[in-house]
Structure 1
Amino acid sequence: MEAAMDLMRRISPNKSEMALSALLSLLPYHSSDLLSQVDQPLQVYFDTESGKEFILCEYNRDADSYRSPWSNKYHPPMEDGPLPSPQLRKLEVEANDVFAVYRDQYYEGGVSSVYMWEDDNEGFVSCFLIKKDGSRKADGRRGYLQEGAWEAIHVIEVGHQEEETAHYCLTSTVMLSLTTENKPSGTFNLSGSIRRQMNLDLPVEDGHLCNMGKMIEEMEGKLRNSLDQVYFGKTREMVCTLRPPPEGLQVRLPESS
C-alpha cells in the first residue's frame, strides 16, 4: 500500500485513472483504501431537474449513484441514499450559491459543487469542489491551451462547537494539467498535483460558512503560489538551461487561462 501511494503521488494526474485501475487489479484487498485515499480527476454530470451541472466524487456517491447538491436527489435514482439533515441541507444550499459566485470571480467559469454530511463527533464535514476546463473548446477564453484543467478538492472537518469556538481542519488538493501546441515550439505538457493541510480554531459568531470560505480562499492563494514556484518556476529554469535564449531576451511562459 505504501508503494502504491508513493507511485500515485508521482504519476501525472491525467494518467491517474488508468494507474488506479491497474493498482486495483493488482491489490484487490486494498481496494477500499486506494479508493478513499487517491484523488481522481473530477467528472461532471448534468442534473436535468435543476438544469445545472454538478461534480461527481466519492463524497456524494452511494453505490453507483451520485447526489446532486442542487436537487438533493441521486442520479441514477435510488430510494435509500443518505441525505444531510434539514439544518445541514440548508447550509449546503447556501454554500453552493456562495461558492458559485466565488468560482466565477476567481476562475471566470467552470463547475463547482459543495457537499455536507454529519460525522461521528457531533460535528460535520464539508467538501468544496471546483473543476475548470481551460481548453480552447471550453472555458479557455484567452486561447493559450490546447487542453488544460484545474481541479480543486477542499475537505473541511468542523469539530463540535465549544464556548462559541469551533475547530476546522482543511485538507486541500489541487490537480493541474495543461498542454500547449504551436508550430514554433511544438507540444508542451505540464501536469501535477499538490496537497496541503490547515488547522484553525475560529469563533463562530460570523457563521461556519464565512470561516470555511476564508480558509479556502487563503489556502488556494498558497497553492497557486506553490504551483507557480514549483512547476512553472522549475520548468522555466530547465528550459532556459537546456535552451538558453539569446542574450537580452527574457523568456516568459504564457499566462494561465
Structure 2
Amino acid sequence: MPVSPSLTFSDGRSIPQLGYGVWQVGNAEAADVVVTAIEAGYRHVDTARGYNNEAGVGEALQRAGLPRDEVFVTSKVPNQDQGRDRTLASFDATMADLGLDELDLYLIHWPAPPKGLAVDTWKTLIELQEQGRIRSIGVSNFRIEDLEQLEAETGVLPVLNQIELHPYFNQPELREYHASKGIVTESWSPLGQGGGELEDPVITAIAEAHDVTTAQVTIAWNLALGNVVIPKSVTPERIAANFASLEVELSADEVEQITALHKGEAGRRGGNPAEMASHQGA
C-alpha cells in the first residue's frame, strides 16, 4: 500500500498531500466510507460544519481506532457562523461531533465579502490556535484580495487555501500568489463536476499511456503540481483507486499538457467567492 507524502506548512506542521473529502456525503454514510478510506490508506479527512456529516466522521475516527496523531482532520466554519461569538460556538459544536480535543486544521469556508466578517472570524481562529485547540489555521475559497486583507489586518497568513482546482480551472494566478507567500494550495473538486475533464482527449491519452484511469491521472497531476488534493467517492473500489494515484508518475510534459487545458472563468464549476454569502458549496 502506498503512503501519501506530506507537505510542510509555514507554521512547521505538515499535512498528508492526498486526503479524503466528504462533501455531499450523508452523515450516516460518512461513518462507513471514512472507515473504508482509512483502511485504504488515507490518513487525512476533510469535512466541514456545512456538510452536516461531522458526527459521522467522528464515529468513523473512533471506529478506525488509530492513534490520534495518525489521522489529520480538517473542518471549516460555515458562512452563517462567521463572527467571533458564532465561530466559537460553531467550533465547539464541530469538536463535539468529531469527538476531538484538538483539530489539525480549521478553515474559514468562504470569505463571504457581503457579510464583512472574514477578518473577525480569522482573529477568532488565531485565538483558538493560541489556546492550543487548533494546530493550524487556514481558509477556503479566498481570493488574493481576501488573503491580502487578512495579512494587512492581522499580520497572520493562512497556512493553506482550499480552492476549486481541476484541469479546466487550475487558477494559475492564485497558485502563484500562494507560492510567493508560503501558502499551501489545496484542491477541492479535483476531478471537476461533470464538466468533461475526465473525458478530455488529452487526459484520456495520458491515462491510456500509463494504463490507469483518467481520475488517477487527474489526481496525479494535482500531486505533481504540489497541491494537497481531496478526491471524494463513496465507492470502495474508487476510494482505493484514487489512493493508488500516488503510484502514477507523470512526466513534466504530461503535467504541462494537462495544465494547458485551463479555461479561466469558463471552467469554474462551483460558486464565485466574490458573491457567496450563504451557500456552503465545497
User: How does the TM-score come out when normalised to structure 2?
Assistant: 0.27
Determine which structure has the larger helix proportion and give its number.
2
- Please say which structure displays the higher CA radius of gyration: 1
